[in-house]
Amino acid sequence: MREPALFISSMGIICALGAGHQEVLGNLLESSTIDRVSAGDMGSELCPYQGVVPDEGLDVWCGHSRNNRLLSAAMAQIAPEIERLKSCYGAERIGVVLGTSTSGTLEAEAAMTLRQMGQVFPEDYHYRIQEMGDPSGFLAKSFGITGPCYTLSTACSSSGKVFSAGRRLIQSGLCDALVVGGVDSLCQLTIHGFSALESVSAELCNPFSSNRNGINLGEGAALFTLTRETADIALLGVGESSDAWHISAPHPEGRGAVAAMKGALNDAGMIAGDMGYLNLHGTATPLNDAMESLAVERLLGRSLLCSSTKPFTGHTLGAAGAVEAALSWLLLSPCNEKRQLPVHYWDGQVDPELPNLRFTVPGDVLAENKAVIMSNSFAFGGSNVSLILGRCAE
């Protein structure tokens, strides 16, 4: 028997598109905001286009790391719902599962640089801020939540997989509600690492174009509360796979991607024709776009409206699954009264080697009878996840 769907009762987001529901959705649907992925100056000689969150949007005295300051900005947006859930179920019945890949690495880099110069560590530096578990512990302590609490780190699928992990905690009876999501901040380790892999574009990323040549890095945070209580938007399905094809390259035929998408459809009890829109992983790297387009054509066909939103946010790595799930949530939400879809931002140069997918153009909308969105996240090592969110019938 299929488990009943869980519902997303609140969502908080901060990224290069802004902070909060209205600002992020408005900028997502306005292609004039594309210049937001160009403001970074960290390692700009290697990574000139970056999806950076402005410092003025963050509490500089909070959390001892930029990662936790990003997280705090998203936390503030769901704080009223957390307090309501605590009063309903008790702090011990609420869990936390987050995804990240950098945690407090930025501060660790600065501290180690000082140490190497013969100086002492900064007074507010502690090694634990760079541990992967720090964001989830920080959130739980800040909200006074005492249920199960941990962090997943599977590279770019980290904060997509938290939905599956969180759902299991509710289905097993260990929790009545969950805070799930992800956060990642830019740091030199990320910039130099992806540059060494020759994965970073010197231009605005160009997903699925014959001219695509790499990613733009970004940062951000997105959080959700999951419960069995009915809400406007539900988590309908999750599919995971691990094809372990290569440490940094996807399976060329997209076998792991197909398995994840198929798993999500089966989990939701749906077929490809039920989907209204697909948020592609769409990194704009030659290998990822090639395999994803093949996988989409094989399982979902060529008629499904789809796009990559990474030209608007940058690739937020460990936060990408959550950030793109949050964008999907916004597209399904009452905030999006006209059911608009974001345009697929690229140069329009079709790669003749790839299937010709139906990329969104200005004026495309989410069909009212197909208020269902799939969102893909594919990571190093073949760690893949696909999520299906849907608007509940009124």
At 51, which CATH number? 3.40.47.10
| Residue 219: pLDDT over 70 | yes
Catalytic choice (156, 175, 205, 306)? 156
The residue ranking higher by pLDDT, 10 or 105, is 10
**pLDDT band, residue 3 (cuts 50/70/90):** low
Residue 2 has a pLDDT of 59
Stretch 256-262: mean pLDDT: 97
For residue 59, what pLDDT is reported? 83
The number of folded domains in the chain is 1
Residue 159 structure tokens: 């904060």
Which one has a higher pLDDT value, 121 or 353? 353
281 is catalytic: yes
- Whether residue 323 is contained in a domain is answered as yes
* Range 86-110 average pLDDT: 94
The proportion of the chain whose per-residue pLDDT surpasses 70, expressed as a percent, equals 97
- Mean pLDDT of all residues in 126-137: 89
Q: What is the pLDDT of residue 121?
A: 82
State pLDDT tens for residues 324-358: 999 999 999 999 999 999 999 999 999 999 999 99
Backbone φ, ψ for residue 201 (5° rounding): -90, 140
Question: Which range of residues forms the domain containing residue 254?
Answer: 6-391
- pLDDT value at residue 110: 85
**Residues counted in the chain:** 394
In a domain, 67, yes or no: yes
Domain membership flag for residue 206:
yes
Answer yes or no: 64 catalytic. no
Q: Is residue 1 part of a domain?
A: no
Mean pLDDT computed over every residue of the chain: 93
Give residue 41's pLDDT band: very low, low, confident or very high (50, 70, 90): confident
| Residue 246 pLDDT exceeds 80 | no
pLDDT of residue 33: 64
Is 268 within a domain? yes
Residue 263 lies in a domain: yes
Span 70-97, pLDDT tens digits: 999 999 999 999 999 999 999 999 999 9
- 315 catalytic? Reply is yes
For residue 21, being part of any structural domain is answered with yes
The yes-or-no verdict on residue 1 having pLDDT over 60 is no
Both structure tokens of 355:
């299937």
- pLDDT-wise least confident of 7-21, 23-37, 158-172, 188-202: 23-37
Token pair 């970056």 is found at 50
